[in-house]
Amino acid sequence: GGARSHFGSSRFGAKRRRLSCTDEPGRLRAPRSALTPSMASRSPTNADQGPVVTRRVNPSHGGSLSSAHRPPVGGVAEPASRMKPSVRQTIESMVSTGSNSEYIKPEQTIILFDWDDTLCPSNWIRANRPALSFFRPAPNDDKYQKPLRELQVHVEATLKLALQMGKVVIVTNAMEPWVETSCRNFLPQLLPLVMAVPIVYARSIFEMQSCEPPRAPSRGGGARQQALPGLYAANGQNRLSNYNARLSAQRFDEMAPQRWKEVAFEQEITGFYSRYAHQSWKNVISIGDSIFERDALRRVVLHRPQAKKKCRTKTLKLFDDPEISELIAQVKVVHDVLSMMVQYDGELDIEIDEEDLKLDTPLADKLVD
């Protein structure tokens, strides 16, 4: 019965978005070097889904996270001085009454992490070849070891926090056993923790469900195929081509990685929310550097069972191809906002921009600019 939270109008002009949210499901955002045109904010369109945050929230009216959208009084936008709440002010002001809600319990929350350039610095490894190789540990040189040690500290803190809040799954499009290989070579202190988390190789799951079973390895043995991050695996492309030839003879298309994630997400989320009769999907979070994670999760949730019941779909997209210092900064942001994301009683669609890592103030305070 308190005051309702307010979703204010947008003021983007021709500047780049900062820790802003993507605009429409399925729409690729502009390159990071592009300027963002002025756009109007979106209001929730489905009352059953609760408040939908796709860009920014103005918390100046107070209220709880479960409250509905309210336009500016008289249709007038808030003064500029009131349009810059921090992410903490924004989300904390809206979740203050939701701490006892069923959906935020660990047994009702599932958090899906990507691996490459989300927790593991794959782009940085590739960019530093030949000094670094995907298949051997980093040299014992502070140039490489110091940032890796720092990254491990923050990834460990983030994963441990996530494990306290719900079921955690790492879902990757890489070839098995890339997560174990890369963790052993570059993030060895994390290996026990990472190996205790379920790791799903989405491409393999997709192929097992979509085409004939893979042939058994030859009795003669032979070298184990080398795993590579994400789409870097050359023989993965061959396997996909074989799948397409068997199934429909069509060429590899750019949406395949999203379909891989969709199949894996559906398997993991369905299993998680099937532990008792009529359990509905309640609180699903995806964190990754690709648009594929975002769109895959939204498609899967859209077609879920018991679709009339409220499911809070939340995505946090990191930016592509980060340097290791940028990845460290982004992991810090994930850690800072994760608990608030879990508690948020509605849709969240957040995208971190490269520019946010250049700001002087704490990154978590710039989610809403």
* Residue 244 maps to a domain: no
* Residue 241 maps to a domain: no
Residues β-bridged to residue 348:
53, 314
143 DSSP assignment: H
Q: In this predicted structure, which of 152-161, 185-194, 293-302 has the lowest mean pLDDT?
A: 293-302
Would the pLDDT of 207 be above 60? yes
Q: Which of 131, 126, 179, 136 is nearest to 155 (CA)?
A: 179
Q: In this predicted structure, which of 65-69, 94-98, 255-259, 334-338 has the lowest mean pLDDT?
A: 65-69
* Residue 287 maps to a domain: yes
Question: What is the mean pLDDT of the segment spanning 140-155?
Answer: 98
Distance of CA 20 to the CA centre of its chain: 14
Whether residue 138 contacts residue 186, with contact meaning beta carbons closer than 8 Å, is answered with yes
Give the pLDDT confidence score for residue 359 in this predicted structure: 57
Give the pLDDT confidence score for residue 306 in this predicted structure: 83
Residue 185 sits at the vertex; the CA angle it makes with 132 and 240, to the nearest 5 degrees, is 85
Taking the alpha carbons of 207, 212, 213, 217 in that order, is the dihedral positive or negative? Answer: negative
Higher pLDDT, 172 or 27: 172
Give the pLDDT confidence score for residue 100 in this predicted structure: 64
Strands (E), 166-272: 167-172, 199-201
* pLDDT > 90: percent of the chain: 44
Place of tokens 């309702």: 4
Task: Give dist(CA 238, CA 245) in Å, integer.
Answer: 10
Question: What is the mean pLDDT of the segment spanning 128-137?
Answer: 95
Higher pLDDT, 65 or 313: 313
Give the pLDDT confidence score for residue 202 in this predicted structure: 78
**Confidence band of 159 (pLDDT split at 50, 70, 90):** very high
Give the pLDDT confidence score for residue 281 in this predicted structure: 94
* Residue 266 maps to a domain: yes
Would the pLDDT of 122 be above 80? yes
Which CATH number characterizes residue 281's domain?
3.40.50
* Residue 9 maps to a domain: no
**Confidence band of 51 (pLDDT split at 50, 70, 90):** very low
Give the pLDDT confidence score for residue 175 in this predicted structure: 87
Q: 3-state class of 38 per DSSP?
A: coil
Task: Give dist(CA 366, CA 216) in Å, integer.
Answer: 51
Q: What is the pLDDT of residues 270-325, one digit of tens each?
A: 999 999 998 999 999 999 998 888 999 999 999 898 888 999 999 999 988 999 99
* Residue 270 maps to a domain: yes
Single-letter residue type at 271: G
Q: How many domains does the chain have?
A: 1
Strands (E), 251-360: 283-288, 312-317, 347-351
Whether residue 232 contacts residue 226, with contact meaning beta carbons closer than 8 Å, is answered with no
Would the pLDDT of 171 be above 50? yes
Give the pLDDT confidence score for residue 229 in this predicted structure: 66
Task: Give dist(CA 106, CA 226) in Å, integer.
Answer: 36
Would the pLDDT of 216 be above 50? no
Summary mean pLDDT of the chain:
70
Give the pLDDT confidence score for residue 183 in this predicted structure: 98
Question: What is the mean pLDDT of the segment spanning 350-365?
Answer: 64
Taking the alpha carbons of 144, 147, 150, 154 in that order, is the dihedral positive or negative? Answer: negative
Going from the C-alpha of 327 to that of each of 18, 147, 150, 261, 319, the distances in angstroms are: 16, 10, 11, 22, 9
Give the pLDDT confidence score for residue 248 in this predicted structure: 45
* Residue 156 maps to a domain: yes
pTM of the model: 0.68
* Residue 175 maps to a domain: yes
Give the pLDDT confidence score for residue 247 in this predicted structure: 45
**Confidence band of 253 (pLDDT split at 50, 70, 90):** low
112 DSSP assignment: E
For the chain, the straight-line distance linking the first and the last C-alpha, in angstroms and rounded, comes to 29
Whether residue 369 contacts residue 56, with contact meaning beta carbons closer than 8 Å, is answered with yes
Residue 131 structural domain = 107-210+253-366
Task: Give dist(CA 88, CA 365) in Å, integer.
Answer: 6
